[in-house]
Amino acid sequence: MVNSSEVSHFTLGAYFDTGPLRWLYFVLTLSVYVLILLSNLLLIVVICWNRTLHEPMYIFLCSLFMNEIYGSTALFPLSNIFTFLLHQTLKDVHTVSVAHCFLQLFCLYTYANVELFNLAVMSYDRYVAICHPLQYRAIITMNKAALMVGLIWVYSFTRCLITISISLQLTLCSNFIDNLFCHNYLIVRLACSDTQVNNIYGYVGTTLSLILPLLPIFFSYTCILRVALGRPQRGQKAIHTCIPHIVSLLNFALGSFLEIVQTRFQISSVPMRILLPLYLTMLQPVLNPLMYGLKTSAIRRASKHELKKMVVHGVDSKQV
C-alpha cells in the first residue's frame, strides 16, 4: 500500500503499440487541436471586436468558446489534453506523474462543469428571448450575464478543487489506470483506504452539478416548445434559433453518458476504450464553433465584415 502523495507516477493502460501508425495518429491529433484553437479563438475575437455583438447572448457564447480552448489547452501546458495525447502517442511507456495526473483531472472536470452550466444559462437566455421578448433586456442585462458566467467558473473551480483534495488523501493499492488519461473515479477505485467521504461527496456533488443545470434546461425548453406549438409561425423561427444550442447540448450529453459508461463498466474493447474518452474531449470543442459560427447570422455577418476589413487593410498596405 502506498499513499497517493508517495506514488511517483500512474500507468495508463488504454494505450497500445501502434507501430508506424503512431505518426499518423500524431498528425491527426495535432490537426484537430489546431482546428479547435483557431476556430474558437476566431469567434472570440469577432465577438469582442464587433460592438453589435456586445449583448448577453454573446457573453455566454464567449464563455463557451473560452471553455473549449480551456478544455483543450487547460491553461497549463503539462495538462493540455492534446499535447498529452501527442506525447503519449509517440511514447513506448505510457506513464504520467502524480502532479500531472491531478492537474489534468482538475482541468478536465472544470471543463465539463463549466460546459454544462454554460449551456444551462444559454437555454434560459433563449427562453427569455422567445417567451418574454419585450422584457428580455430588463431580465437579461449585461451585468447579470457577466455575473452568471463568473459564478459558473467559480463554482466549477471550487467543486473540482474539493474533489481533488479529498482524492489526494487516499491510500492506494495500485497505480494502474485503465484509461487514456486520468479519471478521479478510477483513482478512487485503486484505494485501499476508506473511500466513504469520496463516495458521499461524489454522489452529492455530481447530483448538484446535474440537477442545478438540468432544471433550467428542461424548464426553458418546455416553455419554448409550448410557444412553438401554440404559435406555429413564430415557433418555427424560435426553434430554428435554438438549433445550435440543442445540437451542442445533445452532443455534450451523449459524450458525457458514453464517458460514464466507459469508466463505470470498464469496457474491454480496445477501440471503445480509446474512442469513448476522445468523443467528449474532441468533438464538442470542434462542433460548437462550427455550429454557432455557421448557424448564427449575426456572427456570420460580423465575421464577413472583419474579414473584408482585413483584406482591404492588406491591399492598402501593399499599395503603400
Q: Domain with 247 in it: what CATH number?
A: 1.20.1070.10
Please list the residues that pair with 9 across neighbouring strands: 97
Closest to 38 measured CA to CA, from 83, 84, 74, 72: 72
Residue with the larger pLDDT of the pair 115 and 297: 115
Q: Which domain holds residue 266?
A: 7-303
Burial class from Cβ neighbours inside 10 Å (0-12, 13-18, 19+) for residue 278 reads middle
Distance separating alpha carbons of residues 279 and 284, to the nearest angstrom: 8
Average pLDDT, the chain: 80
Q: Per-residue pLDDT averaged across 25-35, rounded?
A: 80
Residue 89 in this model has a pLDDT that exceeds 60: no
In the block, which residue shows the cell 469513448? 276
Backbone angles phi, psi at 180, to 5 degrees: -75, -30
Residue 312 lies in a domain: no
Is residue 88 within 8 Å of residue 132, measured between CB atoms?
A: no
| Residue 96 DSSP label | E
Counted domains in the chain: 1
pLDDT value, residue 5: 47
Closest to 39 measured CA to CA, from 281, 314, 303, 217: 303
Q: Per-residue pLDDT averaged across 292-320, rounded?
A: 65
Residue 315 lies in a domain: no
Residue with the larger pLDDT of the pair 78 and 19: 19
pLDDT value, residue 230: 78
pLDDT value, residue 34: 85
Residue 26 lies in a domain: yes
Residue 22 lies in a domain: yes
Distance separating alpha carbons of residues 87 and 81, to the nearest angstrom: 10
pLDDT value, residue 217: 94
Residue 1 lies in a domain: no
Neighbouring residues of 308: CB distance < 8 A, sequence distance ≥ 6: none
Q: Per-residue pLDDT averaged across 65-70, rounded?
A: 92
Distance separating alpha carbons of residues 62 and 217, to the nearest angstrom: 19
Digit-coded pLDDT (tens) for 254-267: 888 877 777 777 66
Q: What is the pTM of this model?
A: 0.85
Distance separating alpha carbons of residues 304 and 286, to the nearest angstrom: 20
Residue 221 lies in a domain: yes
How remote is the C-alpha of 14 from its chain's centroid?
Answer: 22
Residue 318 lies in a domain: no
Is residue 58 within 8 Å of residue 47, measured between CB atoms?
A: yes
Residue 188 in this model has a pLDDT that exceeds 60: yes
Of 22-36, 144-158, 238-252, which gets the smallest average pLDDT?
22-36
Residue 59 in this model has a pLDDT that exceeds 80: yes
Residue with the larger pLDDT of the pair 256 and 294: 256
Residue 128 in this model has a pLDDT that exceeds 70: yes
Helix or strand (DSSP H, E) at 113: helix 98-131
Is residue 67 within 8 Å of residue 44, measured between CB atoms?
A: no
Tally Cβ neighbours within 10 Å of residue 289: 24
Digit-coded pLDDT (tens) for 227-259: 888 776 666 777 778 888 889 999 998 888 877
How remote is the C-alpha of 201 from its chain's centroid?
Answer: 22
pLDDT value, residue 116: 94
What is the three-class DSSP state of 231?
coil
Residue 125 lies in a domain: yes
